[in-house]
């Protein structure tokens, strides 16, 4: 077995104890570069930074001949690989890894949240939608104050109001019933063991807990994550979670019914409705009525030097595949196709062209993309936004300087005249990619939205310590349900609706042979789209390996200011962009990319983001 470790703790895994020890961390540091501290946090255009930085390390390319798991934490990756080596497949590995992520990376994802999963069985790609839903009692005015004005973002996030009905457990059960090989109960064994015996708090979790002001206000979370003096548990502290272990046992024995009914469901509803300042409207019926969706993946053709590719991503309510497809398609129609590098970095002209393409894509996203069970696609099909003739016309809007205003296009007849959704903050998330020895593969992006979600922890038994965090996914809806003219926003709150998402799990195929070439994705709120797009450009246009592409600096825009990863671009690039009219800000941009790419001879090349604690493991 090999490990490709990245992030602010160079780590190996201690099988005997089943957890990552502080001594192990120290011992392994000798062969790796010392991480450099991340720059200080800065505000985004929306005034809030997606899940914050901890440190940036170095990473090494790793190759695997049979199978591999790329995940955001070593223990989650190890759990997934254990399933593969026990005869399981990619779905089995994903279930095991997600349960461990609930425990060891609680700020980013977990059973209290949702996920998008793309699965390839060697023949067909399927899209499993485990996105959260709005409770039946939620309506368009959910995030309006008494005066009809949108609430402040954190005012809306913290508490039960923002919690959507979690979907990841039901979705994983659906996918496992269709594709899994190992018994469902066996997939929970690594997470149960770690929750019972404990795991070592890592530097990233410690750093984020120390920076968090709202989570300690929740008494259950405070008791679990912090010492009596109010400080977070130190790095290396063995953190046990007996209540979560009990929940895992219920899920292992009862399936998703152990989550959506009975004591766990009652505890979720009590936590949501019982928040002292910002209660929510979820009921036991909302949980009992949750259903995952199997959707048709959104696939489109893309040409790279020497390769005819087919890119498959997640359809609406996912916005990532559409936006990435538009950005790549628009860029390919310019002189900066492929975003060529100069001295190892994108040129100022290339960045400008990419940013203008992004503004066009994000304008369409704001206007049209929402839950397809509630909102019709423009022209009757979502692929209309990727039609060559439509992209030809949009590409002609890209000039040598920043366009003063960008509006959505009209790719086809509209059933409703929509208002664009105002820009809002989006946050955290986690990603894992898996390929197995049988030819199966998946890309799964999973989330509780903001770092630590709604800052609301569920404990099913007061006699036990620990629990799990709930999402704040409803804040991905538009706080403003309509514009001043009364036109509705497509992504407004409605009962039972799934909020729009930027999650972009992606599978890449050879268009001629059908061979799977790549699985990738990232956390990062709306910037998931940019993190994923630039990695695709790096691997298929710029001649980079997955790790080299991931290591490249981050950049992007959602339509307003341009954000550049702090300290990664020369002053001349900033000056050039400003001369072209772009307002530019530098700040940490904490991607968490994971990628597996088929290399020469069928070897899998693994890459994991040095900005977090991600690893790639395999054999």
| Closest C-alpha to 530, from 409, 275, 358, 311 | 358
Query: In degrees, to the nearest 5, what angle opens at C-alpha 6 toward C-alphas 443 and 515?
Result: 30
Q: Encoding tokens for residue 464?
A: 């036990």
| DSSP one-letter string for 104-134 | H-TTT--TTSEEEEEEE-SS-EEEEE---B-
DSSP β-bridge partners for residue 3: 617
- Decide: helix, strand or coil at residue 125: strand
**For residues 129 and 291, what is the distance between their CA atoms, to the nearest angstrom?**
9
Q: What is the phi/psi pair of residue 138, to 5°?
A: -80, 145
**For residues 434 and 443, what is the distance between their CA atoms, to the nearest angstrom?**
7
Q: What is the phi/psi pair of residue 525, to 5°?
A: 60, -145
Give residue for tokens 């708090």: 201
Through-space distance between the first and last CA atoms of the chain, rounded to whole angstroms: 5
Q: C-alpha distances in angstroms, 115 versus 20, 127, 354?
A: 26, 11, 28
Considering the candidates 429, 480, 558, 590, report the single residue annotated as catalytic.
429
Q: Encoding tokens for residue 124?
A: 């067909």
Q: Give the torsion through C-alpha atoms of 447, 451, 454, 459, to 10 deg.
A: 80
| Closest C-alpha to 596, from 81, 92, 51 | 81
Does residue 334 carry a catalytic annotation? no
Residues counted in the chain: 619
User: Exposed e or buried b for every residue in 2-38, given b needs 16+ CB within 10 A?
Assistant: ebbbbbbbbbbbeeebbbbbbebbeebeeebeebeeb
* 490 touches 375 (CB < 8 A): yes
- Decide: helix, strand or coil at residue 386: helix
Q: Name the DSSP class of 12.
A: -
| DSSP one-letter string for 460-497 | S-TTS---EEPP-GGGGSBS--B-TT-PBBTTB--TTP
| Closest C-alpha to 118, from 438, 516, 490, 498 | 516
**For residues 405 and 555, what is the distance between their CA atoms, to the nearest angstrom?**
20
* C-alpha count within 13 angstroms, C-beta hemisphere, residue 165: 30
Give residue for tokens 């709120």: 525
* 432 touches 83 (CB < 8 A): no
- Decide: helix, strand or coil at residue 449: coil
Q: Give the residue numbers annotated as catalytic, written as ranges.
A: 429
């Amino acid at each position: 077995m090999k490990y490709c470790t990245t992030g602010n703790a160079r780590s190996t895994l201690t099988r005997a104890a089943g957890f990552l020890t502080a001594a192990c961390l120290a011992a392994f540091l000798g062969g790796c570069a010392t991480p450099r501290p991340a720059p200080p946090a800065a505000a985004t255009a929306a005034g809030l930074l997606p899940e914050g930085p901890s440190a940036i390390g170095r990473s090494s390319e790793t190759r695997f001949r049979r199978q591999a798991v790329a995940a955001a934490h070593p223990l989650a990756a190890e759990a997934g690989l254990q399933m593969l080596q026990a005869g399981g497949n990619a779905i089995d590995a994903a279930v095991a890894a997600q349960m461990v992520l609930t425990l060891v990376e609680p700020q980013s994802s977990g059973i209290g949240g949702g996920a998008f999963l793309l699965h390839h069985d060697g023949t067909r790609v399927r899209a499993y939608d485990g996105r959260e839903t709005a409770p039946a009692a939620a309506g368009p005015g959910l995030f309006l104050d008494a005066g009809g004005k949108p609430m402040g973002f954190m005012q809306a996030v913290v508490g039960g109001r923002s919690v959507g009905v979690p979907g990841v457990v039901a979705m994983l059960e659906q996918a496992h019933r269709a594709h899994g090989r190992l018994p469902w109960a066996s997939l929970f064994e690594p997470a149960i063991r770690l929750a019972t015996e404990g795991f070592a708090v890592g530097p990233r979790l410690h750093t984020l807990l120390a920076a968090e002001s709202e989570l300690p206000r929740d008494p259950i979370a405070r008791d679990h994550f912090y010492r009596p003096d109010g400080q977070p548990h130190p790095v290396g502290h063995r953190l046990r979670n007996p209540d979560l272990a009990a929940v895992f046992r219920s899920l292992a024995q009862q399936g998703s019914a152990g989550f959506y009914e009975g004591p766990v469901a009652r505890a979720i509803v009590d936590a949501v409705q019982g928040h002292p300042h910002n209660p929510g409207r979820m009921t036991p019926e909302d949980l009992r009525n949750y259903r995952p969706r199997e959707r048709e993946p959104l696939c489109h053709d893309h040409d790279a030097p020497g390769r005819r590719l087919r890119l498959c991503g997640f359809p609406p309510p996912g916005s990532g595949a559409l936006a990435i497809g538009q950005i790549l398609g628009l860029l390919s129609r310019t002189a900066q196709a492929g975003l060529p590098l100069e001295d190892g970095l994108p040129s100022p002209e290339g960045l400008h062209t990419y940013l203008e393409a992004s503004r066009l894509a994000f304008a369409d996203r704001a206007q049209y993309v929402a839950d397809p069970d509630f909102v019709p696609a423009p022209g009757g099909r979502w692929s209309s936004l990727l039609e060559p003739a439509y992209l030809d016309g949009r590409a002609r809007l890209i000039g040598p300087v920043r366009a003063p205003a960008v509006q959505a296009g009209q790719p086809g007849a509209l059933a409703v005249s929509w208002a664009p959704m105002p820009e809002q903050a989006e946050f955290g998330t986690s990603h894992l990619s898996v390929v197995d020895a049988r030819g199966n593969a998946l890309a799964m992006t999973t989330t509780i939205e903001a770092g630590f979600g709604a800052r609301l922890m569920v404990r099913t038994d007061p006699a036990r310590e620990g629990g799990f965090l709930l999402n704040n996914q409803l804040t991905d809806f538009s706080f403003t349900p309509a514009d001043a003219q009364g036109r509705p926003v497509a992504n407004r709150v409605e009962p039972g609706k799934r909020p729009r998402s930027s999650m972009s799990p992606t599978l890449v195929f050879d268009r001629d042979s059908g061979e799977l070439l790549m699985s990738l994705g990232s956390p990062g709120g709306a910037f998931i789209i940019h993190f994923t797009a630039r990695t695709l450009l790096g691997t298929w246009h710029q001649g980079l390996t997955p790790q080299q592409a991931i290591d490249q600096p981050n950049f992007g825009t959602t339509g307003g200011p341009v954000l550049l990863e702090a300290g990664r671009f020369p002053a001349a690039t900033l000056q050039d962009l400003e001369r072209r009219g772009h307002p530019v800000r530098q700040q940490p941009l904490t991607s968490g990319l994971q990628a597996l790419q088929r290399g020469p001879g069928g070897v899998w090349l693994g890459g994991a983001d040095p900005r977090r604690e991600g690893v790639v493991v395999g054999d």
